[in-house]
Amino acid sequence: MSTFYFIAFLSIFFSILVISAKNPVHSILYLVLTFFTFTIHYILLNAQFLAVVNFIVYMGAILVLFLYTLMLINLNKEAEPVKPFMVKIAAVFGGGILAVALVSSLKLLGVSDPVVLKNPDLGLVKNLGKVLFNEFLLPFEISSVLLLSAMVGAVLLATKEKEPKATI
Amino acid sequence: MESLTRTIQAVPLNHYIFLSAIIFSIGVMGVLLRRNAIVIFMSVELMLNSVNLLLTAFSVYRGDAAGQVFVFFIMALAAAEVAVGLAIIVMIYRNTNSIDINVLNRLKW
């Protein structure tokens, strides 16, 4: 039980560091740590498939993509311009209001049953595969089309346009 | 695994909801605070992840595997979104030599 609270504290701590770090590279590295704590959350919930996928897709692929783009865009020339102090105060205030509203409204709900794992092999690959390829076969295929179109779109967007040739 | 799953037996569902709400709000704060487009993207990823965690917690709570399949779809969607978004950021950088979002205020018209 205390493991959950320790890991939850770490997730909140690292995610605050993500948005407050001055250097974007540090911010990405803190994001890696945040995602690692999320992986531990998944393992605690015995969602082993999601833990592995989170580890590979988020910490492997997406974060490498972020880091690669950041290295490609050489930002070391000038530091990020800071927003005015009042805007920062307003942003923190707005986010804090959202957090307080969500937490207090959920507190009023009063439902607080403990999370009990009724079916221990709920999050295993065998069980999830059966669900994924029976009920969710069509969305699965559509998501593959989505990934293909995203790949084509990214390549199309990121390629440099050729200079239009001078017509005779 | 048996000992790991026993550790969550006593965690109330509310605490998972609070954790996700707090991390979601931190993501919203990051979007409002920062001017670097890449950091804003990372805050969006943080929000997506908090929703993923909440879906998994509810899936375990209800004993229904559909929630975890949904998390899988959200991860596929996040990968597609990041690929297209970072391509757009690279293109913006190539055209304006900056990824400060305030440079892009001409998009308003």
ipTM greater than 0.90? no
Q: Does A137 touch chain B (CB under 8 A)?
A: no
Average pLDDT over residues A35-58: 90
A147 vs B5: CB contact, 8 Å cut-off?
A: no
CATH 1.10.287.3510 is held by the domain B2-98: yes
Q: Which of residues 11-30 of B touch A (CB under 8 A)?
A: 11-19, 21-30
**For the purposes of burial, counting CB atoms within 10 Å of the CB of B12, is it exposed (0-12), middle (13-18) or buried (19 or more)?**
middle
Q: Which of residues 63-82 of A touch B (CB under 8 A)?
A: 65-66, 69-70, 72-73, 75, 80-82
Closest C-alpha among B25, B23, B51 to residue A101: B25
A43: nearest CA partner in chain B:
B4
Q: Does B104 touch chain A (CB under 8 A)?
A: no
Chain A residues with CB under 8 Å of B45 CB are: 31, 58, 62
Nearest CB to A91; choose among B33, B45, B71: B33
Q: What per-residue confidence (pLDDT) applies to B51? A: 93
Q: How far apart are CA A156 and CA B83, in angstroms?
A: 11
User: Using one digit for the tens of pLDDT, what is the confidence trace for A3-29?
Assistant: 888 999 999 999 999 988 888 889 999
Q: How far apart are CA A19 and CA A58, in angstroms?
A: 18
Q: Does B94 touch chain A (CB under 8 A)?
A: yes
Nearest CB to A115; choose among B61, B68, B89: B61
Closest C-alpha among A98, A55, A105 to residue B23: A98
Go through chain B and tell me how many residues it has. Answer: 109
DSSP string, chain B: -HHHHHHTTT-BHHHHHHHHHHHHHHHHHHHHH--BHHHHHHHHHHHHHHHHHHHHHHHHHHT-THHHHHHHHHHHHHHHHHHHHHHHHHHHHHHHS--BGGGGGGGG-
Q: Are B17 and A106 in contact (CB under 8 A)?
A: yes
Closest C-alpha among B50, B14, B53, B3 to residue B29: B50
Alpha-carbon distance A31 to nearest alpha carbon in chain B (angstroms): 8
pLDDT tens digits in sequence order for chain B, 109 residues long: 555 555 556 688 888 888 999 999 999 999 988 888 888 999 999 999 999 999 998 888 888 888 899 999 999 999 899 999 999 888 888 888 777 777 777 766 5
- In chain B, domain spans: 2-98
User: Using one digit for the tens of pLDDT, what is the confidence trace for A64-103?
Assistant: 888 888 888 876 655 566 667 888 888 888 888 888 888 8
CATH 3.40.47.10 is held by the domain A1-77: no
- In chain A, domain spans: 1-77, 120-158
* Tokens, residue A115: 């999370």
